[in-house]
Amino acid sequence: MTRTGRLAVRLSALLGCTLLAACGHSTAPDGDAQTRLPPAAQCVLKSPALAVGSTNALVVDGVTYTNSHQPDAPSPLETPIANPGPQPAGACHGSAGYRFGSGLYDVTGPIGGDAAGHADLAGMVLPPQAQNGIHTRLYARAFAIESPCNGKRVMFVSDDHAFTTALERQEVLKAIAADPLLSPYYGPDNVMISAIHTHSAPGGFGDETVLPNLPAGTPQAIVDTYNYAQSLVLSTSPFDADNFKVMVDGIVQAIRRAHANLEAHADSAPIRLSVGELLNANRSRDPPAYAQNSPAERAQYLDDNGYEVDVDKRFLQLSLIRANGSAAGVINWFGVHPTAMGNHDLLISSDTKGWAGLGFERMMGTRYVPDDGTTADGADNFVAAFAQTDEGNTIPDLFVFDKDLDGNDGPGQGVPYRFRHGTDDPYDFDQPGYALGMPKATALNGTKQLAQALRQFGAGSKLSGPVDYRFFYVDMTAETIDDPVIADQLAYADLPTALYADDPKTTCAGAVGLSKLAGGANAPDLGAAGYVCRNDAPVPYQDALRHHYNGIYNGTQSVVADLDAAPPLKVPFPGVLAFDVISPLLCTTEAQLPDNSCQDEKPPLAPATVTPAPFQIFRIGNLAILGVPWEVTTMAARRLRKTVLDALSPVGVDTVVIAGLANAYLDYMATREEYSAQLYEGASTYFGPWQLAAAQQESRKLALSMAQGEPAPQGVTPDTLALGDPSPITIDGNAAFGSVVSDAQASYTQGDTVDVSFVAGYPGNDLKTMSSYLYVERQNARGGWDVVATDKDPELLFVWHGKPNLVSTLLHVSSSSTAEAIWKIPANTPSGSYRIRHDGVSRSSANAAPTPYEGISRPFTIDGVPAPCP
């Protein structure tokens, strides 16, 4: 029996929905499908977190903040179609056996951000987020799947970062091509890299920056000053060679492990596809944009209470379990922005999706060990990928727009920000612990996704049919919609014809719209939303933006500058007034520029630097995975999936899922109608109002080539991209590294918090890949110490206090820094003697090798009786 089997007990693959207040539909297990889950699964399935958002009231710490919340109800679910066409004749017809393998590897980047010569956290932009620690480590999770009937295989990678970039994919493929074990099997066509889109991962890996990078070769002092000045008000992402390397190396190592795991298992086994419905775990952040879509189209998506379903509730999961019961892992897709840690978080975190993946892996006994320099042994090691799909307009902040107890939802009213997730996490700068983000909110939403994954683990029907793949690049800046099948679907009879008057319908040179500066409604920025060059949106929305939705679309009315040791400074900025002035100027400019004239309603703020768009389709039996480089909104995804399904269903495909942020990053994909309102998603749709139509056209072209057994279309040649400059080396001043600054108390009880700090070297000089800066250890009966938690675990926070300033940035010196360990003792922790250990390195000069050091707290006891659950 495998290690996973020894840990597990028998549990029905489909648990009763009575265990979960947020339960919806799920496909039933096929035959006697059973799976093995450890007892800890029951703690998740019975968690009080699952009920949050399931009633009209929000009560936090005994205080009621709203009684007008609208909980989700079951709704029509996009399940496999009943009667697809026949699968192609041949050896793969009806074949339900696959070979598969999984692997994971650490991709956690450096701490310190711009002030330490590295990129800040990517995704939020405002306010500045120079990371100073770790909430959870980041991992690449890879899955190799082969159909023995035709010998074809695919490699799917889910990466714990904000985006996938063209440069990242280029370098991963170079490494694969140079590897004699991988290159015979994997290449550009059958490797898909999809990011989960956490906004708490370091950037600087070829992604777009807010302000342009300085040219390569610029003197380092000038680069440092430029980046440091930006970092006071922006979260910036100049190229970070150290972060880029750990990302690329980690993805390749995960692929190697997945390949070795597949190769070590000659026998085939079924892969089960389960489709469920996860309620009260996501909501729309831009309801006024969704309302622009066709009323007849929207009427197809109503829940059992008659309310519109404006975000996708589908939870699709693949269970990879061998015939002997050994589980290689799961891949699931659910659309929600992993932004629960907040735009004030300063800790590296994989957010809700990574939290759920780590939780599943912990209960299944996953091993996180570095390579020993030899080929991976291929043994099963459970990997749980909570991958990203159509999350463009979806957020985990369930109460973001709810009215307050007086029924008000104007500016400054409604549910306060710190309670919008249903938790009491700190949010404002003057609240203790605000820099640690919102870990309770992250755990709450992560618990909901994990519970759904547990319910569906081992459930569903067996995939059948061949593995296949297609890939090509498209220049999205000059596409004409000339496919008659797509062209006939673009206009809706119940909407104004003026929306569809463009003739011909073409895409545009990439441009970012003014409302991009307004940010998503769940993360207030300085700008205001909804500015257009012509007001032709089908449903009026401007009054609602300014006077309802709790004023969120009006921006913060201030800019925050983070002045290092001083409290953050708020500088007034009248966002609405400023945008009232800027918008007509931008629209006038648009009319004069041929490249922007087809942007229609969008006031172009700046050109978007773009690469060719990668389109990719994986077929695994009756499932098709469409990889696209966008954040796709809910309605856009519905149309895009239907386009691909219509092309592939004649050859036996009955289900399509979108893998978002795949192989490159080109921002958002809104519908034509949503684009007309120019909220955040529309302003971030680079290529104009017909971008979705062009994506449908090219996806259909690719899908038809697969259906007809033809090669992929020719496409365009991708750009060859260059790496940036090396990251600077930070050195440490003389100190007693590892010395305890603040020690543990003598004893604690479950639920208490242990807070210990040590004299530290700069952690960015050793990323501790597949290792840890911190260890919680319990003394065993032999007097030794067993590790019970590391800095990958969300209950143990690593916080580096480096006190960077402009002088230390220019000199690349870290002095007087400390490493803080904050351990929230889980309620189910056994009593005993514990300690906290810090592993670090110091570096005396740029030419000196890092010197390891160790710090150990005093032993402390945990008394009290452990609870059944954490």
Q: Annotated binding site for Zn(2+): which residue ranges?
A: 197, 337, 631, 668
Question: Which residue has 């603040």 as its token pair?
Answer: 742
Sign of CA dihedral 462, 466, 469, 470: negative
Task: Measure the CA angle with vertex 158, ends 443 and 254; round to 5°.
Answer: 110
Distances (CA, A) of 416 to 332, 369, 421, 526, 552: 32, 42, 10, 18, 11
3-state helix, strand, coil in the chain (%, to 5): 25, 25, 50
Cβ–Cβ < 8 Å for 138, 205: no
Q: What are phi and psi of 624, to 5 degrees?
A: -115, 135
Label the pairing between strands 152-159 and 191-195.
parallel
865 vs 756: CA distance, rounded Å: 24
DSSP for 413-476, written as a single string: -SS-GGGTTSS----STTSTTGGG--HHHHHHHHHHHHHHHHHHTT-SEEP-S-EEEEEEEE-T
Q: Which amino acid is at 157?
A: V
329 vs 102: CA distance, rounded Å: 7
The structure tokens listed for 486 are 């797509």
280 vs 652: CA distance, rounded Å: 33
Which helix H or strand E contains 619, and what residues bound it? strand 613-620
DSSP for 461-524, written as a single string: EEP-S-EEEEEEEE-TTS-B---HHHHTTS--TTS-GGGG--SS-B--S-EEEGGGGG--TTS-
561 vs 551: CA distance, rounded Å: 22
Cβ–Cβ < 8 Å for 293, 671: yes
Nearest to 389 by CA among 526, 523, 192: 192
Cβ–Cβ < 8 Å for 839, 773: yes
6 vs 488: CA distance, rounded Å: 57
Cβ–Cβ < 8 Å for 855, 744: no
As annotated, the binding site includes 197, 337, 631, 668
Which helix H or strand E contains 263, and what residues bound it? helix 241-263
Bridge partner list, 822: 755, 797
Bridge partner list, 512: 606
Residue 127 preceded by cis peptide, ω within 30: yes
Label the pairing between strands 461-462 and 121-122.
unpaired
Distances (CA, A) of 33 to 13, 36, 314, 458: 7, 10, 22, 7
126 vs 848: CA distance, rounded Å: 37
